[in-house]
Structure 1
Amino acid sequence: MHPLIFREVLSVTMILFAIIDILGAIPVIIQLRQKAGHIQSEKASIAVLVLMIGFLFVGEEMLAIIGLDVSSFAIAGSLVIFIIAMEMILGVNFFKEDMPESVSIVPLAFPLIAGAGTMTTLLSLKTQYQTQNIIVGIVLNTLFVYLVLKNVQWIEKLLGKTGLAILRKAFGIILLAIAIKLFRSNTHL
């Protein structure tokens, strides 16, 4: 087994942090909490952890069943990440999603936190980083997701609307760079 490499863990953690965009999702989480009255942060966090680690290990096999390789999926994912980044930077919604009437694992853990962009990113990361470093990054992000879900009201008051908007745009630019890097590293021209 390979040793944990701090630089890889840090890179993976930052990439997943940007794509999960839990801070950018705070307005949506607040809206969900207002509709449902309560967010089950423990249940949602465990679901996120299981989804991400599960997809990390069986995602490639699932792709193989439908005849796709990881590079093709990574390129497609880089385009999705690019669009998500443009949404964050420009403040425009390309992906329209209906708001659910109640908060459960389905709307919160998937697709809001561990959605298609996150799953694509996990497979893309697998082409560049060692698996154990990705798992540590997933666990660190899940802990952060849990802390945000547990303290969403306090965070909303602390950052305010302007702070959340600035944070969202900053992570949008980081995601844009990640999308371009993923596209370039998986394109064999």
Structure 2
Amino acid sequence: MTGSYLGFAAAVFMGFFSIVNPIANVPVFLDLTDYMTPAQRKQIAFKSVLVAFIIIVIFSIAGNTIFRLLNISLPALRITGGVLLFVIGYRMILEEKPHPEKRIDTKEGDPGISVAVTPLAMPLMAGPGTITTAMNYAASTNTMHTLIVIGVYGLLCYIAYLLFLSGGHIVRILGNNTMMVITKMMGLILAVLGVQMLLEGINEGIRIGGR
């Protein structure tokens, strides 16, 4: 049983890591906060991962309720989520920049709220693909699966937080070309996970329809 949970946690981590791709988001974070002090950058990094974590927790816990209220079946969600993940991965492989680097002027007001929520928390950390993935993995009736999804995403948020804080060192060490290669690899993994999720949804749908 423990081994199955570890395998599930590994699959969830790879799914989240591929779609969130915190390494590829580092240049965006640096661009949005290039004029800020180290203290402000730290605050923004923390608030962005905190907001993203709250979003995923809500969707992970409320997933089953949403299914019942809207009469959505798990196979349908898996098929839709698989297609969505494949499309995102496909775009990551082909496009030069998977996420547009859009500068937002936050010198007026609280930069920790405006930048942390958009675009860092949404859509970079907790976009539609991430929400779909969380709901899909947490849709099981096994409560432990839901807790694993939340815990794994919390771990990913912590990793993203550390990467944001050390972003400047990472770019200087790896270089832009290496980071682009990493993004392409993550896109490939994401596309494969999307196809697997799609096949599982189709198989389960056929099995349920044949009863």
TM interval, short-chain normalised: 0.7 to 0.9
Q: 1:91-130 counterparts in 2 under 5 A?
A: 91=95, 100-102=104-106, 103-127=115-139, 130=145
- Higher fraction of helix: 2
Contact 1:60 1:69 in 2 (8 A): no
Unaligned runs of 5+ in 1: none
Q: In terms of mean alpha carbon deviation, does 72-81 or 47-56 score higher?
A: 72-81
Contact 1:12 1:137 in 2 (8 A): yes
Q: In terms of mean alpha carbon deviation, does 93-102 or 6-15 score higher?
A: 93-102
Rounded Cα–Cα distance in structure 2 between residues aligned with 1:88 and 1:166: 10
Structure 1 or 2, whichever has the larger Rg, is 2
Cα offsets for 1:84-142 (capped at 9, x unmatched): 11111112679879654331323211111111000001122124682222222112111
SS of 1:23's partner is helix
Q: In terms of mean alpha carbon deviation, does 152-161 or 169-178 score higher?
A: 152-161
Contact 1:60 1:70 in 2 (8 A): no
Contact 1:52 1:114 in 2 (8 A): yes
- The reply on whether 1:60 has 2:64 as its aligned counterpart is yes
- 1:29 Cα shift? 2.1
Rounded Cα–Cα distance in structure 2 between residues aligned with 1:156 and 1:83: 27
- 1:21 aligned residue: 21
Rounded Cα–Cα distance in structure 2 between residues aligned with 1:95 and 1:26: 11
Q: 2:47 aligns with which of 43, 50, 62?
A: 43
Q: 1:74 aligns with which of 68, 71, 78?
A: 78
Unaligned runs of 5+ in 2: 107-114, 207-211
What is the identity percentage for the equivalent residue pairs of Structure 1 and Structure 2? 22
- The reply on whether 1:145 has 2:160 as its aligned counterpart is yes
Rounded Cα–Cα distance in structure 1 between residues aligned with 2:100 and 2:50: 26
- Root-mean-square deviation over aligned CA pairs: 2.6
SS of 2:181's partner is helix
- 1:69 Cα shift? 3.0
Q: How many pairs does the alignment contain?
A: 188
Question: Structure 1 length normalisation: TM-score?
Answer: 0.85
Change (3 A) 1:96 1:151: closer
Amino acid at match of 1:45: V
Deviating above 4 A after TM superposition, structure 1's stretches of 4 or more consecutive aligned residues are 35-38, 92-99
Rounded Cα–Cα distance in structure 1 between residues aligned with 2:200 and 2:175: 38
